[in-house]
Amino acid sequence: GAGVSQTPSNKVTEKGKYVELRCDPISGHTALYWYRQSLGQGPEFLIYFQGTGAADDSGLPNDRFFAVRPEGSVSTLKIQRTERGDSAVYLCASSLDSGGADEQFFGPGTRLTVL
Amino acid sequence: SQQGEEDPQALSIQEGENATMNCSYKTSINNLQWYRQNSGRGLVHLILIRSNEREKHSGRLRVTLDTSKKSSSLLITASRAADTASYFCATDAEDDSGAGSYQLTFGKGTKLSVIP
């Protein structure tokens, strides 16, 4: 079956611009996660959705970052007034349910470059 | 912040040899997972070991967990060139109720190179 997909695969933007990154989770997965991975580092948690609601957004670095999941499936990560430090690979993952014991299935990521 | 720390940071071995990677973490966990990542993109889940388990096998993979030392090891036997990748451990912290959380905390990874 189809895995987690993310679009675009690469995004180059200029400092100060607005970007949207999209994630299509595995069908039927109620939990969706966003992570950010900088070069040479492991992924860092940003936000977690259970259904349509953001159950935990404690990992979002500041209020320029926002994510939605209006119908409980596709999610969009939105970054306003991008900064060079936002350059990273943004990874989305989904799992059947929360609870911590579930395998999270990751998408291929979106590589964001802010010039 | 990152809880886990993999050791070594980089490992280079000949095809056919075994590769051992270690992971240490700081807080009590519900479970620990190992992931593989090729070319800095998507992560592939390898194996999950729960806090009440000590050892788990999956094909050529063997994972151990020592909660008293807050450490885990991943052994890949009879390595192949296709095993070349970065390997990450990720912990799922135990919350106050004793249940697991959903938030995975990753280490910085071990970069494994298997030379044909």
pLDDT, tens digit, 9 for 90 and up, residues A22-34: 999 999 999 999 9
Give one word for B9, left, alpha or beta, with left for phi > 0 and alpha for psi -120 to 50: alpha
Residue A2 reports pLDDT greater than 90: no
Q: Which residues pair with B33 in a beta bridge?
A: B48, B90
Interface test with B, best of A26, A41, A50 (most B CBs within 10 A): A41
Q: Does B107 touch chain A if contact means CB atoms closer than 8 Å? A: yes
Q: What is the pLDDT of residues A7-16, one digit of tens each?
A: 999 999 999 9
pLDDT at position A55 is 83
pLDDT at position A38 is 93
Contact B102 A37 (CB under 8 A): no
What are the φ/ψ torsions at residue B81 (nearest 5 degrees)?
-55, -35
Report the distance separating Cα B70 and Cα B78, nearest Å: 27
Q: What is the pLDDT of residues A76-115, one digit of tens each?
A: 999 999 999 999 999 999 998 755 567 889 999 999 999 9
Contact A48 B102 (CB under 8 A): yes
Which of A33, A45, A108 shows the shortest C-beta gap to B41?
A108
Count CB atoms within 10 A of the CB of residue A22: 15
pLDDT at position A56 is 87
Interface test with A, best of B104, B105, B108 (most A CBs within 10 A): B104
Contact A33 B102 (CB under 8 A): yes
Interface test with A, best of B25, B43, B56, B87 (most A CBs within 10 A): B43
Which secondary-structure segment (H or E) carries A64?
none
Residue B115 reports pLDDT greater than 80: yes
- Return the percentage of chain A with pLDDT > 70, whole number: 96
Q: Measure B38 CA to nearest chain A CA, in Å.
A: 10
B19-44 mean pLDDT:
89
pLDDT at position A111 is 96
pLDDT at position B1 is 46
**Which two three-digit tokens encode residue B68?**
């008293």
Which has the minimum average pLDDT: A22-36, A41-55, B78-92? A41-55
Mean pLDDT for all residues in chain B? 88
Count CB atoms within 10 A of the CB of residue A38: 13
| Residue A46 · residue A75 · CB < 8 Å | no
